[in-house]
Structure 1
Amino acid sequence: MALGEPGAGYPVPWLVQTWLAGTIATDADPASSESFAQDLATFIHALRQADTAGRQFNGRGRGGILTDHDEWMETCFHRSEPFLDVPPLRRLWAHLRTLPRTSPDVMTHGDLIPGNVLVSDNRLAGILDTGGFAPADPALDLVAAWHLLRKPTRQLLRSALNRDDLEWERGRAWAFEQAMGLPWYYADSNPPMALLGRRTLARLLDPDG
């Protein structure tokens, strides 16, 4: 995605007119690439600089109030019992859901998972699925840190974006909320998505992951 200049006061993505070379990050894993982490930080920073034109989070999906997702998380915990060790996951959500919000909305992609990220030579080559580009919690796009990176490159991303402890933990919360829906929901229909959820959850649970 290339971000265009705001039109009529509203920032909108340009249409991609040419083919972008690259492989989705599900297949070309860039988790250990420092160059990719730097590219990702540059991209997220650029999104944040776009003008919200006074708009705020619309109340749908991720990016608002964490506790609004309690019912969904309870469904995920129940449905995950055949697949995952649920008690430590419940304990993690009990902590993450209480994290306060202190920063105003910024423009976000909203779904920075491996399937929406193109990689070429361990560099960020493009971003897919830009229809969710909208104002939301500044922590929302930090989900990429756990979906896409291992600990050393994750810390590089954090340093490049200069995020404080609270916003970083809220990013962890949104990654957790998203990942909990994947292993059980896609167990049969989309095994790679189920595997993504398991991998992200493992990273979220392991401080060295």
Structure 2
Amino acid sequence: MSSGRTHPGRYPLDARLVRRLVAGQFPRWRGLPVERFPSGGTVNAMYRLGDDMVVRLPLVEGGAGDVRAEREWLPRLAPLLPTAVPEVLGAGEPTEGYPWPWSVYRWLPGEIPEAGALAEPELLARDLAGFVAAMRDVALPDAPGAYRGGPLATLDGQTRAALDELSALPEEGVDCSALAAVWEDALRAPDWDGPPVWLHADLMPGNLLVDEGRLTAVIDFGCMGVGDPACDLLPAWDLLPATARKAFREALGVDDATWRRGRGRTLSQALIALPCYRRTNPAMAGNARHVIRAVLAEAD
């Protein structure tokens, strides 16, 4: 889903274009049904291809790098992780009518989890902790830097600008003073001084799949790379209730400084997303509001 990035001028995709791309580059799949899959994502569009595949295409130029990164790294990461991840079945290339690389993946079944409606929140918390721990244990060399994986202070300007925007939107009912205090507390937390670790770096609900309450797959690795382990604490506030949040933290053994940075990173992402998507992307805006409520409740 790759939230927190704004994307004017999205490429005009439709099922007819996707059918033409598939037929031209993968004749063996010519004639299979193609149907847009609804998603709150802002970087890529997804189209079901037959019963067991999905086509994922960038909507903006910045998504092209994500496609290339997934092709390079997912085959190497997959055997090291406890949870299913996307499997590239076909590497589509730019052609007349579409300017960027795109991919065909095996379809991964499951439902997107919904904050406040989790069937097994503490079990899901432990599943998520297991995935995050496995990512941290990856030792593949020459890793890219994760999107958002650098020092927290690099997000300060954008975060304060978003707070200023929200302060001018009284209808959102956001306590900007309280949120600014949480952000400043995160900035005071010591920076990560260990080696950078492997991260998914975008573990928001839209990039998770569950079945009967348990984590079955993690998708959209476009932000992956190495950096501050606090980046992968996102589910603590954007998905898990307070008791499951505690289980998640305990399972990972997160120290106080990393927890504060993780809360700050999650809050920053939500603050930037809300004014951007409040009228255009209900899923992203709703998730941002949930994060803000969760962060303020924990800070009380």
Report the TM-score when normalising by structure 1. Answer: 0.86
Give the whole-Å Cα distance in 1 for the aligned partners of 2:111 and 2:181.
36
Give the match for residue 100 of structure 1: 190
Give the whole-Å Cα distance in 1 for the aligned partners of 2:200 and 2:188.
24
Q: Note if contact 1:107-1:135 (Cα within 8 Å) is conserved in structure 2.
A: yes
Give the match for residue 24 of structure 1: 112
Classify the secondary structure of the residue corresponding to 2:195.
coil
Greater relative contact order (Cα < 8 A, sep 6+): 1
Structure whose CA Rg is larger: 2
In structure 2, relative to structure 1, the CA distance for the partners of 1:46 and 1:180 (3 Å cut) is: same
Shift of 1:79: 1.2
Give the whole-Å Cα distance in 1 for the aligned partners of 2:277 and 2:229.
28
Q: Note if contact 2:115-2:240 (Cα within 8 Å) is conserved in structure 1.
A: no
Percent identity between matched residues is 33
Shift of 1:27: 7.9
Give the match for residue 9 of structure 1: none
Q: Does 1:199 align with 2:290?
A: yes
Classify the secondary structure of the residue corresponding to 1:179.
helix
Q: Note if contact 2:200-2:225 (Cα within 8 Å) is conserved in structure 1.
A: yes
In structure 2, relative to structure 1, the CA distance for the partners of 1:52 and 1:173 (3 Å cut) is: farther
Q: Does 1:185 align with 2:276?
A: yes
Provide structure 1 residue ranges, at least 5 long, that are not aligned to the other structure. 7-12
Q: Does 1:157 align with 2:248?
A: yes
2:129 is aligned, of 30, 37, 41, to 41
Give the match for residue 79 of structure 1: 165
Shift of 1:85: 2.2
- CA offset digits 1:66-107 (Å, max 9, x no partner): 111111012101111202221111122121112112322100
Give the match for residue 149 of structure 2: 63
What is the letter of the counterpart of residue 91 of structure 1? A
Specify which structure has the higher proportion of strand: 2
Q: Does 1:4 align with 2:4?
A: no
Give the whole-Å Cα distance in 2 for the aligned partners of 1:55 and 1:18.
24
Give the match for residue 90 of structure 1: 180
In structure 2, relative to structure 1, the CA distance for the partners of 1:31 and 1:139 (3 Å cut) is: farther
Give the whole-Å Cα distance in 2 for the aligned partners of 1:186 and 1:205.
21
Give the match for residue 87 of structure 2: 15
1:119 is aligned, of 170, 185, 210, to 210
Give the whole-Å Cα distance in 2 for the aligned partners of 1:207 and 1:31.
22
In structure 2, relative to structure 1, the CA distance for the partners of 1:19 and 1:147 (3 Å cut) is: same
Shift of 1:207: 2.0
Give the whole-Å Cα distance in 1 for the aligned partners of 2:87 and 2:183.
38
Q: C-alpha root-mean-square deviation of aligned residues, in Å?
A: 2.4
Shift of 1:29: 3.9
Classify the secondary structure of the residue corresponding to 1:51.
coil
Give the whole-Å Cα distance in 2 for the aligned partners of 1:151 and 1:160.
14
Give the whole-Å Cα distance in 2 for the aligned partners of 1:151 and 1:128.
25
Classify the secondary structure of the residue corresponding to 1:96.
helix
In structure 2, relative to structure 1, the CA distance for the partners of 1:153 and 1:136 (3 Å cut) is: same
Report the TM-score when normalising by structure 2. Answer: 0.61
Shift of 1:171: 1.1
